[in-house]
Structure 1
Amino acid sequence: MLGGAATGAALGVLAAFLGEVRAPGGLLLGLIGAAGLAGAFAPSRRVLFVGAGLISLLVSLCLLTPALRLPLQALSVSQPPQRADAIVVLGGGVQCGTRALEASSLTRLVRGLELWRAGYAPTITVSEQSDVFSATCPKMSVIEREYIRALYPQGGPQVVTLHNVTTTRDEAARVRDLAAARGWARVLLVTTPSHSRRARGIFEAQGVEVISATASETRYDPTLPLPSDRLYALRAVLYEGLSRLKEELGGTPER
């Protein structure tokens, strides 16, 4: 039972990191308990240890070799910027306690402002997250608007908020409605590279013509020179894979 519980704890830590689980404490306790129970009986103990061993081998392959380069390339699509009606900066998250934009949110916003300064579009959209995960968390759109005002007290871009969004599908639906109301023919879509191909597909499914103008990757070096880079790349690949599976199964209903 102790061996099973230890294996469950290791799997829980791995799942909490690689899966970007929002409640890792509960997951960890559940896996420790379930694996400890499995370790008490010989048949389930064999299944547990063989399964954990296979997972360890796969993770080691990803950490010790650049095997993830091709999957990352398949997830990314980046196009030269073109004149458009708006720059859509997809949300990447916010730290609730510190009221700071997560790195992906900030780098996307910076990229959007670069495109605006270069004259590609007069309008930038920012996303206001819904209260699904935290009703007390500061709104990402408010922080981004403050950031833009601090940089450009006067003469800044026109900023439009996509209200109450939970998923990329929600953001695409909001932009679809804005495009119909304002006569937008094309938008520049700004997100992180590993999210770009899926995001473009979601927007195109809503009938929105997009040019994928990706932001810089901040979590890892895409050439994957170090095991730490490969670990974060594995996280991105798994996240995108699970997100695609969720979409195939119906996804999160639009709010």
Structure 2
Amino acid sequence: MNLRRVRRAVPLLLLGLFAALLVLGVRAVGPFLVVADRLEPSDAIIVLEGGTPAREVEAAVLYRRELAPVVVLALARDPFPVARQLAGEPILQERAARALEYAGVPRHAIVRLERQAENTAQELQVDFEHARARGFRRVILVTSPQHTRRVRVIWNARYQARIPALVHPTLYEPFVPGRWWRSRRSLEEGLHELVAIAHFFIGSPLPTFDRGD
């Protein structure tokens, strides 16, 4: 009789153990995604495209702390260029530049990259090539908290040995690592980053944007 009870209890115990491990794994995802390197004086603060104005405001704070003499802005591909033009809205890079100026970065300290990028990997490549051409020895990469791990993974894999980068999350974009799964928005962002990191390692035959072929 006792043996039967034990046999019946084993699947329940295993299920409970699996559930506990799953919960621990889910909890670990948030802290894993967020990277915050110790900041040091650098040659440039590079703002990853997106999250305007949260990333730009953080970059302005770092600029005012005199951590770098210039702030670099990417030129990302706009998914709605025609609609934006018809609506009289500025391009994404111009919006970012305006946010920087309003937050206290002088116009002469803002560098606008001219080569367009479609995704984070391409953007970091453009950033690296700009840094190398200017002879930079160290840069600070500012982005959203949940985006920092992907930035760190890509930069480490391709560029860190040549130009060290310090990855820094903006404090002005809400993402609580310990509660990342408790809202739909944070959950979607977290899962997107996990998939994007996996995509970087295994690749994908699909382009970021439809080529219209």
- Give your verdict on TM over 0.5: yes
Q: Tell me if the contact between 1:90 and 1:127 (Cα under 8 Å) persists in the aligned partners.
A: yes
Q: Tell me if the contact between 1:200 and 1:212 (Cα under 8 Å) persists in the aligned partners.
A: yes
* Equivalent residues in 2 for 1:158-237, closer than 5 Å: 158-162=109-113, 163-207=115-159, 208-216=163-171, 218-224=173-179, 229-237=182-190
How far apart, CA to CA, are the structure 1 residues paired with 2:168 and 2:57?
12
* Equivalent residues in 2 for 1:61-76, closer than 5 Å: 68-76=26-34
Give identity over the alignment, percent. Answer: 23
Pair 1:129 & 2:76 matched = yes
**Which of 96, 106, 109 is matched with 2:53 structurally?**
106
Task: Give 1:85 shift.
Answer: 0.5
Aligned to 1:249: 203
Task: Give 1:209 shift.
Answer: 1.4
3-state SS of 2:58 partner: helix
Cα RMSD (Å) of the superposition?
Answer: 2.8
How far apart, CA to CA, are the structure 2 residues paired with 1:205 and 1:67?
25
3-state SS of 1:224 partner: helix
How far apart, CA to CA, are the structure 1 residues paired with 2:30 and 2:80?
30
Distance 1:206 1:80, change over 3 A: same
How far apart, CA to CA, are the structure 1 residues paired with 2:103 and 2:59?
13
Q: Tell me if the contact between 2:150 and 2:196 (Cα under 8 Å) persists in the aligned partners.
A: no
Pair 1:80 & 2:38 matched = yes
Amino acid at match of 1:167: N
How far apart, CA to CA, are the structure 2 residues paired with 1:218 and 1:152?
19
Q: Tell me if the contact between 1:111 and 1:215 (Cα under 8 Å) persists in the aligned partners.
A: yes
How far apart, CA to CA, are the structure 1 residues paired with 2:165 and 2:207?
23
How far apart, CA to CA, are the structure 1 residues paired with 2:138 and 2:124?
13
3-state SS of 1:148 partner: helix
How far apart, CA to CA, are the structure 2 residues paired with 1:67 and 1:232?
19
Deviations 1:186-214 (A, max 9, x none): 10111112111110221233324111111
Q: Tell me if the contact between 2:57 and 2:99 (Cα under 8 Å) persists in the aligned partners.
A: no
TM (norm. structure 1) is 0.60
3-state SS of 1:142 partner: helix
How far apart, CA to CA, are the structure 1 residues paired with 2:60 and 2:103?
10
3-state SS of 1:213 partner: strand
3-state SS of 1:201 partner: helix
Task: Give 1:146 shift.
Answer: 2.1
Q: Tell me if the contact between 2:55 and 2:172 (Cα under 8 Å) persists in the aligned partners.
A: no
Amino acid at match of 2:121: R
> Which blocks of at least 5 consecutive residues in structure 2 are unaligned?
1-18, 85-89
How far apart, CA to CA, are the structure 1 residues paired with 2:29 and 2:172?
15
Number of residue pairs matched by the alignment? 176
How far apart, CA to CA, are the structure 1 residues paired with 2:125 and 2:186?
29
Amino acid at match of 2:141: L
Higher relative contact order structure (alpha carbons within 8 Å, sequence separation ≥ 6): 2
Distance 1:197 1:71, change over 3 A: same
3-state SS of 2:53 partner: helix
3-state SS of 2:141 partner: strand
Q: Which moved more, 1:178-187 or 1:241-250?
A: 241-250
Task: Give 1:84 shift.
Answer: 0.5
